[in-house]
Chains A and B, each alone.
Chain A
Amino acid sequence: MYLLRWKVFLKERTVNRIGVVNLKNLKKTKYFFGIVIITFFAFTAFSSEGVVSKIKNANKKTDKSTGIHKSISLPKNVVKVKEDYQGGVFYTKSRKSEITRYKCSSCHKTQKKVMKNAANITHGDIQVVHGGKNKLECNTCHSKNDRNFLVTAKGTKVDFDHVYNLCGQCHFRQKKDWIGGAHGKRITYWAGERAVKNCTACHNPHSPLFKKRWPKTYSVPLK
């Protein structure tokens, strides 16, 4: 069986053998040989298609309406991001569709209703570990006036779906990287229209640092 597997190798060898120049007259062919070698080196120097030069030469915009891109549709519940990335429009997952108790105004109505211990019962699980020494408060990010919205330090209302505009106030570097593609990640597909995860898909906004935990698996030494 293994012998049979050599057939490709043998085939290629046959081709190589045909390709060899028959040097009958070495004196004459010396120059020829020299030229061949020089051309060979020149050729390899110019055609050294390293991956870096390939990348540098690839500047044509990808047409998202052709090939593999065409067959991929956007995931469900995405919204258009309010800023463009280098390739134009892109999308992110809607946050509102994931918050089970949205709209907040269904409890937080304008009229005051005093309920004992209400905050503890409804949001008691929330621990704010965000902002270091100057710990953030609920209303640093949640609008006092319109509970269905977030709010920036300057008082601009921010939709939950566009939370990147809120986080980006402090984490502007991360936001820039998120728009470009060095932070966060795409949803399932590298091809097709660009759809990425929202900040809150990976970070718990109330305590955004990843918790220490056991790794999912372990490795044994390589043999």
Chain B
Amino acid sequence: MSDKKKQITRRSFLKTAAAATGTATIAGCSGGLLGSSEAFALEFQEYFKEHYRLMTDEERTDTIERLERLSEIKKNTTIDIDSTKPQENVLYGYAFNVTRCEGFMECVDACVKENNLDRESKNQYIRIFEMENGEMLPDQGDGKFFHQVPRKGHFYMGVQCFQCENPPCVKACPTKATWKEKDGIVVVDYDWCIGCRYCMAACPYWGRRFNWNQPQIPKKEVNKKQHYLGNRSRVRGMMEKCTFCIQRSRKGKVTACVEACPTGARVFGNLLDPDSEIRFVLKNKKVYRLKEDLGTDPKFWYFND
């Protein structure tokens, strides 16, 4: 107990001390060196905010307002950050039809645009593997194909974060910057991620993506409809991943990849709704999951017609 007390006093001391210095600095340079003093003040407050899960609703609104304002000041872009919570009785699940996918990669493109991914490094959450008929695991396939598709004697398999029900990535994180939400989506609080990449090493599915450099997105292409735990802007050194388009799915929409798929190979829906499409697939099709023996319990199934 005394330990905890000490911590808090030390922390609050630091906070006050830093705040004092900060105010002094703002007063001192009043908008010259460090950009506008408003931006500086906002960034300063951002710096000391809580972990998302420990924030009260009010604190969440505050940080969102700050982030929106900062984007206006610094990037001259008006964005709309959302913090919709998980819905009751919803658990998202996904199914991928390996018979239907023809490797057109429309999903990959849509995902990049929807989630504001770095164009410079060609960061992508989804990977489509071209596999020879008879192969089973994506490790055997070709993830870098570029020729006319579909290729004869081949089939295609899409891989992304499977939103494991028992996610090893979450256990690996030393700062609790990543966790599983109630509706089953595994998210990252970008402001608490220290970029250690433990989670990346722990994920058996290559589900995580690391920003080695500052992400570059053409201003015109920035998706302004954002979610705090989803596609809001990341910086260099942060981990990110597929969130089943949390900014869309929590508003009742299908994910960007499902919407973009021209062949209907992707099925998305609520696993707890017995009438949903995904439940129909699980009930009526031969389904399998990747590396099921690891016990990660992914909510992503493959099936064929």
Where the two chains meet, the residues of A that have a C-beta atom closer than 8 Å to any C-beta of B are 1-2, 4-10, 12, 14, 17-18, 50-52, 54-55, 58-62, 67-69, 71-72, 85-88, 173, 177, 180-186, 188-192, 197, 202, 210, 212-223
Contact = CB atoms under 8 A, between A and B. Distances in A.
Contacts of B146: 214-215, 218
Interface string B1-44: 10110010001000000000000000000000000000000000
Contact of B275 (A14, A87, A222): A87
A216 B108 contact: yes
18 contacts: A10-B7, A17-B3, A51-B93, A51-B297, A54-B165, A58-B91, A62-B273, A68-B90, A72-B252, A182-B281, A184-B264, A190-B268, A191-B252, A216-B104, A216-B108, A216-B109, A219-B143, A221-B143
B75 interface: no
Contacts of A188: 253-254, 259
A197 B11 CA distance: 56
B71 to A, nearest CB: 21
Contacts of A18: 1
Contacts, number: 188
Contacts of A67: 87-88
Given A51-B91, A58-B271, A191-B252, A6 B278 contact: no
B89 A215 contact: no
B254 A58 contact: no
B282 interface: yes
A190 B54 CA distance: 30
Contacts of A212: 148-150
A14 B252 contact: no
Contact of A8 (B192, B251, B253, B303): B192
Contacts of B147: 214
B299 A85 contact: no
Interface in B264-292: 264, 266-282, 284-285
B168 interface: no
Nearest to B108: A217
Contacts of B216: none
A189 B252 contact: yes
